[in-house]
Amino acid sequence: MSKSVGQSKLRVDAYDKVTGRAEYTDDLCAPDALIARIVHSTIAHGMVTGVDTAQAESVPGVVKVLTCFDVPDRPFPTAGHPWSTDPHHQDVADRLLLNRHVRYYGDDVAVVIAENEVAATQAARLVKVTYEEYPFVLDAQEAMGFDGPPIHEERPDNILAHTQIRRGDYETARQEPGLIRVEGWYDTPTVQHCHIENHICYASMEKGRITVVSSTQIPHIIRRVCGQALGIPWGKVRIVKPYIGGGFGNKQDALYEPLCAWLTTQVGGRTVKIDCAREETFVNNRVRHAIRTHIISYVRPDGTLAARKFECFSNQGAYASHGHSIAAKGMGAFPQLYPCDNIEADAYTVYTNRPVAGAMRGYGIPQAMWAGECHLDDIARKLGRDPVEYRRQIVMPQGYTDAFSKNCNYYDTFNQVMDKGMAAIGYEEKRKAYANQTGPIRRGIGMALFWYNTAVWPISLESSSCRMVLNQDGSVQVQTGETEIGQGCDTAYAQMAADAIGIPFEDVHIVSTQDTDVTPFGTGAYASRQTYIGGFSIQQTGQMLKDRILTYAVELTRQTRANLDLVDGQIVRTSDGQVLMSLGELATEALYSLSHSQHLTAESTYQIKNNAYSFGCTFAEVEVDIPLCKVKLLNIVNVHDCGRLINPALAEAQVHGGMSMGIGYGLSEQLLFDPKTGRALNNNLLDYKLSTFMDHPHLQALFVENPEPTSPYGTKALGEPPACSPAPAIRSAILNATGVAVNQTPMTPHVLFRAFREAGLFQEGETAHV
Amino acid sequence: MSIQYKHIQCTINGRPVDKMVDVRASLTDLLRNDFRLHSVKKGCEVGECGACNVIIDGRCYNSCIYLAVWADGKNIRTLESLLGPNGELSDIQQAFVDEAAVQCGFCTPGFIMTAVEILESGKEYTDDQLRKALSGHLCRCTGYENILRAVKKAMYRRLGKPMPEA
Amino acid sequence: MYDIKALYEAHSVEEAVRLRVEHPEAQIIAGGSDVLVQIREGKRAGAELISIYLMDELRGISLDEAENIRIGSLTCFTSITNDPIIQKYINVLGEAVDQVGGPQIRNIGTIGGNTCNGVTSADSASTLFAWDAVIELTGPEGVRRIPIQQFYLRAGKVDIRPGEIQTAILIPKASYENCYGHYIKYAMRNAMDIATLGCSVNVRLSPDKRTVERARIAYGVAGPVPLRASTAEAVAQGQAPSLALADRFAKAVLEDIHPRDSWRAAKDFREHIAVETARRAFLESVRLAGGELA
């Protein structure tokens, strides 16, 4: 029986968010909090030789200036991964709260704490830092074996990690006579999450413990990292996560919480706030790894893949953060999406002097799909095949099972999503209509697939915990450690909980705030796991609570346990469907009974040892103004198989957002760096070209609902997947329109100008008037 | 250095206000800190994201780059003014709820106030015109799709016309 | 909270001029969409400000006795776009400033502030250059009027002398009469962006529409300050409008413009776009003027 799941219930937080009542971190912070301003390095690589704080300290209102010479010498990791008790699988601990060895332009060197914002800002400008400068390097491949001091001494060649996949015998297989060789290098940029709420946190002390209120996706992980960074027992730290204004992975990392926690200890436990400026969010939080990928495919004339080689170079930036996990996940897609018997794949994650790369929506897959899908189009073109028709031949077939993850492709999903996408956009007619175009303005249609893994098992722990508490009126509080970050998991959880317990959706009260003192342990919002992972513990805990309720109902109704059910908030005798009492009546009695008082609650953890493939595609139609080097996106359709939809309206909304991010990835977004200094050039919302309202066409989101067999609710990943395939689909459409294959994203006018000029398109354009 | 203040009188959400204002304060500072109008959000503080948008004398402004002292004599409205006396949502707020136009919610108050200006004009806008009128706001969650839907829906309802098929 | 040392508020031109004389170091703030951003960046942190924002006498658009268009310096972009005089005589200016930032910026940003910044990318500037606008400054010695080309001294520096404020921008009747123009803002986004290049063209055709009596073209971001492309103008003058003329006119701009390489765009790319936008803006101007292509 399922009543709530599958319905487009209104968001449980919508009322508060449209009235301004939803409180975010800054809304909760006391007005008398001390303000911390961070002094950032003005060189990209070097050693701090001295910090002169005298002038800064003389600014009225300044409470304290702390520097990289003051912080504990205790390196800590920041990645928002579940901790591993196996030292070999622990995240790399490579940074201090403030750093003497500065490794990117903007590294954290000192902090001013002041009574107010103006004093803090003035004083931060007056802190004088002297450096011994080292050569710096911004490119991942150049950083490998760079002739200069290593960015981290433990990694003399700057390579953070290198892993590989070997299948069959690539070298022998590529010797097969008659093979067609297709080779390409595909580049992706450094981009940023651009949640509208900047990262912000504040910390204070009470009873010898530190409380940090933070705009984070991962409160329980932040507690652990703060404990590690400060060298204090983890239980001495309490993290509170209120509503947050978006995260997209940036806040799946310990950002400034450890520093803020330490600062409050330096001012006697007074509240200290670190409120990142937008410019800092761009440079001093996390970015998406820029990855350069090299693919060589040996293809038989019939299109089958004989041998393939893959190399990728992932730009880690200055500190490890999520590190190699991103490149490794991207590489993992390569042998699976288009299976081939002979594969040689290598992924390198390399320290550079760029801002730190961490998690971002898609976690390596947008980069991998950019490279892999562009390359697939290049093969199709070389073979003279249609991109869709060719993919149907070689894409992961139904029944494919990955040996490592044990993930299975249970359905004919790829063909289903392509069929749906083709029909929605009118692929075949347009493909025909756009053949053989001339003139300055041309249209094109293209597509790309994506592969995605829902959660992190078996690479990492997957578990979720849930607590349910029955109120006197029969309503239920539900708490989980997985966090609402805008994606709508609170609403989906309320729907699942309602069905698991057997009560109306309205009777579920989701506790949105996570507070590590009271919230059951959960690792937070990341991967695309919330709905999938949370579902296990919600169903299990809901059934436990229901069982306790019905066990208590036996006493009140004198029926057997087997003859009782909880349906829509009513205790029902199953044999004849008779309603015996309401859950509210039962709950009141249970609490206040003079003979048997019991607070009915349930709490449980479920460890998930499964994972789920999530697939889909993007179809895009563009109009290319060749002389102006501009692409106008006319139509775009994403089709997803994310299993059964828990809430169709919210699922659709989430796909829109991912498509938007994917469009920006394809056409406009890129964080740029000054090659002379390493400084970010466009770390603000004017110069970083996030799509505006006027830069999108109508976004169409469609679904194929093949229930995921391992999930209690038949669901799987949707959060990140929408951002994975738009960019290569747009590239495919531009290729269709112009015959020009662009191998770097974003495909800005600057890039298209060079590409079109090289392809000789301008001569033609100039005689034909627009 | 002594702080310079200025006495201002203005109307905030229908209420007359008499206030000594630090001349260094932005209108965002004034509304958030002095009046706890927390719907006014800070996303960039340089007029690029629209999260701090409020209506001043009928027109939308980014309150982050508007000096608080300029509020003297003005009529200022924030999202908090839209709610009915018994907590009823206004039509545009309800449309944002119904159309799933809200995700993280951080850009939402600013968007809704621009929508209010659009709706109060009493005009019928095309999709392209609506996109332009709403283009001062950045949103990372929605791709703007459902926000457009919500504003359109509320606009047609106020105009008493059926919403055309997309 | 901005790092502002002191704020002086002017409520009349006279008061503004007096404050300018009394506080020569102080920065004028009009709508503030640039000045406040600069204070926050640290560039003007700790500045003294003279706020002229509340001087309503500098708002509004009118025709003077000689039918020159007078735009008060504090008129915001939205008001310019919506103004009937602008729409009737120099609609292109309204269209150009309607592409500044987003609606909120267009409500606060003023045409005076846009020009006094002295930046080459200002969306109003290329059209004002192309229409031979005159800048009116008022100072202790009275009113001074200079052509906009002389007002821009170098990047970020305009000819505002001690004690002066900009009070109006004038479009002479001889400049706008029978004249039609088109502005193309070339930017990376369709909103909330600064121009990679701005191209404003206008033409006056002969009464029979067969001859280009006068063509004017100005650019933003084709040099350190906005500039006119006089070689191109000379190519078109007296000629019959045609596609071929559009081509020659457009290519001739390369004689006059000198964009630079920057991280925002490369010189050769800007040159390419300058030619293409010149061609398109020229053809559109001819069309608006009622001309037919030979």
Averaged pLDDT for residues A151-175: 98
Give the model confidence (pLDDT) of A377-415 as tens digits.
Answer: 999 999 999 999 999 999 999 999 998 888 999 999 999
> Residue A589: inside a domain, yes or no?
yes
Residues A577 and A626 in one domain: no
| Phi, then psi, of A416 in degrees rounded to 5 | -65, -45
Of B25, B50, B79, which residue constitutes the final position of a domain?
B79
DSSP per-residue codes, A546-588? HHHHHHHHHHHH---GGGEEEETTEEEETTTTEEEEEHHHHHH
Q: Which residues pair with A180 in a beta bridge?
A: A299
Chain C residues 167-226 with a CB less than 8 Å from chain A: 186, 188-194, 196
Of A588, A607, A626, which residue constitutes the final position of a domain?
A607
What was the pLDDT predicted at A459? 86
> Residue A64: inside a domain, yes or no?
yes
Question: Distance, in angstroms, between B25 CA and closest chain A CA?
Answer: 10
Which residues from chain B sit within 8 angstroms of residue A530, using beta carbons?
none
Q: Which domain holds residue B97?
A: 91-159
Percentage helix, strand, coil, to 5, in chain A? 30, 25, 40
d(CA B40, CA B113): 10
Name the residue of chain C whose CA is nearest to B45's CA.
C37
Is A348 within 8 Å of A144 (Cβ atoms)? yes
Strands A290-299 and A305-317: what pairing?
A: antiparallel
User: In Å, how far from its chain's centre is CA B70?
Assistant: 18
> Residue A703: inside a domain, yes or no?
yes
Q: Would you state the structure tokens that stand for residue B34, as one six-digit string?
A: 């002095």
Residues A480 and A598 in one domain: yes
Residues B74 and B96 in one domain: no
Which residues from chain C sit within 8 angstroms of residue A624, using beta carbons?
none
Is A43 within 8 Å of A102 (Cβ atoms)? yes
Which residues from chain A sit within 8 angstroms of residue C243, using beta carbons?
769
What was the pLDDT predicted at A744? 98
| Phi, then psi, of B34 in degrees rounded to 5 | -90, -25
Stretches where chain B sits below pLDDT 70 are: 1, 166
Q: Domain C180-288 classified CATH 1.10.760.10?
A: no
Collapsing DSSP states into helix, strand and coil, what is residue A322? coil
What was the pLDDT predicted at A527? 84
Is A110 within 8 Å of A38 (Cβ atoms)? yes
For residue C15, is pLDDT > 50? yes
Give the model confidence (pLDDT) of C134-156 as tens digits.
Answer: 999 999 999 999 999 999 999 99
Residues A426 and A469 in one domain: no
Question: Distance, in angstroms, between C170 CA and closest chain A CA?
Answer: 31
Q: Do the domains C62-173 and C180-288 sit in the same CATH topology, yes or no?
A: no
Task: Among B24, B133, B136, select the one facing C192 at the smallest CB separation.
Answer: B136
Q: What is the mean pLDDT of chain A?
A: 96
Give the model confidence (pLDDT) of A675-705 as tens digits.
Answer: 999 999 999 999 999 999 999 999 999 999 9
| pLDDT confidence bin for A661, thresholds 50/70/90 | very high
Averaged pLDDT for residues A336-362: 98
Question: Distance, in angstroms, between B93 CA and closest chain A CA?
Answer: 6
DSSP H helices in chain C? 13-22, 35-41, 77-82, 84-89, 91-97, 103-108, 111-116, 123-130, 148-151, 173-176, 230-236, 243-252, 267-288
Of B48, B79, B110, which residue constitutes the final position of a domain?
B79
What was the pLDDT predicted at A765? 41
Percentage of chain A lying above the pLDDT 90 cut: 96
Which residues from chain A sit within 8 angstroms of residue B107, using beta carbons?
196, 245
CATH class of the structural domain C62-173: alpha beta
User: Which of C7, C40, C41, C188 to mutate: most A Cβ within 10 Å?
Assistant: C188
> Residue A419: inside a domain, yes or no?
yes
Residues A750 and A635 in one domain: yes
- Is the minimum CB–CB distance between A193 and chain B shorter than 8 Å? yes
d(CA A549, CA A300): 64
User: Which of A62, A629, A751 to mutate: most C Cβ within 10 Å?
Assistant: A629
For residue A429, is pLDDT > 70? yes
> Residue A87: inside a domain, yes or no?
yes
What was the pLDDT predicted at B166? 64
Which residues from chain C sit within 8 angstroms of residue A672, using beta carbons?
263
CATH code: domain of residue B21? 3.10.20.30
> Residue B85: inside a domain, yes or no?
no
Is A501 within 8 Å of A566 (Cβ atoms)? yes
Q: Would you state the structure tokens that stand for residue A414, as one six-digit string?
A: 């790829």
Residues B60 and B114 in one domain: no
> Residue B72: inside a domain, yes or no?
yes
In chain A, how many domains are there? 3
Q: Would you state the structure tokens that stand for residue A431, as one six-digit string?
A: 């493909």
User: Which of A58, A116, A193, A196 to mutate: most B Cβ within 10 Å?
Assistant: A196
Question: Distance, in angstroms, between A724 CA and closest chain C CA?
Answer: 22
**Domain positions in chain C:** 4-50, 62-173, 180-288
Is A40 within 8 Å of A284 (Cβ atoms)? yes
Q: List Cα–Cα distances, B152 to B107, B124, B128, B129, B145, in angstroms.
A: 18, 9, 11, 11, 11
Which residues from chain C sit within 8 angstroms of residue A118, using beta carbons?
1-3
d(CA B158, CA A457): 51
d(CA A569, CA A587): 11
Q: List Cα–Cα distances, C169 to A441, C11, C32, C111, C147, in angstroms.
A: 39, 20, 19, 8, 10
Q: Would you state the structure tokens that stand for residue C164, as one six-digit string?
A: 């002066």
Strands A209-214 and A237-241: what pairing?
A: parallel
Give the model confidence (pLDDT) of A216-250 as tens digits.
Answer: 999 999 999 999 999 999 999 999 999 999 999 99
What was the pLDDT predicted at A521? 95
Give the model confidence (pLDDT) of C71-122 as tens digits.
Answer: 999 999 999 999 999 999 999 999 999 999 999 999 999 999 999 999 999 9
Element (H, E) at A123: helix A117-126
What was the pLDDT predicted at B1? 56
CATH code: domain of residue A128? 3.90.1170.50
d(CA A723, CA A363): 10
d(CA C267, CA C275): 12
Phi-psi region at A409: left, alpha or beta (left = phi > 0; alpha = psi -120 to 50): beta
For residue C224, is pLDDT > 60? yes
DSSP per-residue codes, A581-617? EEHHHHHHHHHH-SS-----EEEEEEE-----EEEEE
| Phi, then psi, of C287 in degrees rounded to 5 | -60, -45
Residues A57 and A76 in one domain: yes
Are the beta carbons of C40 and B45 separated by less than 8 Å? yes
Averaged pLDDT for residues C255-281: 97
Is A714 within 8 Å of A492 (Cβ atoms)? no
CATH code: domain of residue B149? 1.10.150.120
Residues B75 and B96 in one domain: no
In chain B, how many domains are there? 2
Of A284, A312, A328, which residue constitutes the final position of a domain?
A284
CATH code: domain of residue A576? 3.30.365.10
What was the pLDDT predicted at A2? 57
Q: Tell me how many degrees the CA angle A329-A334-A335 measures, rounded to the nearest 5.
A: 115
Residues A532 and A484 in one domain: yes
Q: Which domain holds residue A469?
A: 14-20+463-607
Percentage of chain A lying above the pLDDT 70 cut: 99
For residue A638, is pLDDT > 80? yes
For residue A443, is pLDDT > 60? yes
What was the pLDDT predicted at A764? 45
Residue of A279, A282, A357 whose CA lies nearest to A318: A357
Q: Would you state the structure tokens that stand for residue A142, as one six-digit string?
A: 């150049």
Of B79, B99, B125, which residue constitutes the final position of a domain?
B79
- Is the minimum CB–CB distance between A578 and chain B shorter than 8 Å? no
DSSP per-residue codes, A144-161? TT-SSS-SSTT-TT-EEE
Chain A residues 115-134 with a CB less than 8 Å from chain B: 118
Of A284, A313, A332, which residue constitutes the final position of a domain?
A284
Give every CB contact of residue A688 below 8 A, 6+ residues apart in sequence: A192, A194, A282, A669, A670, A671, A682
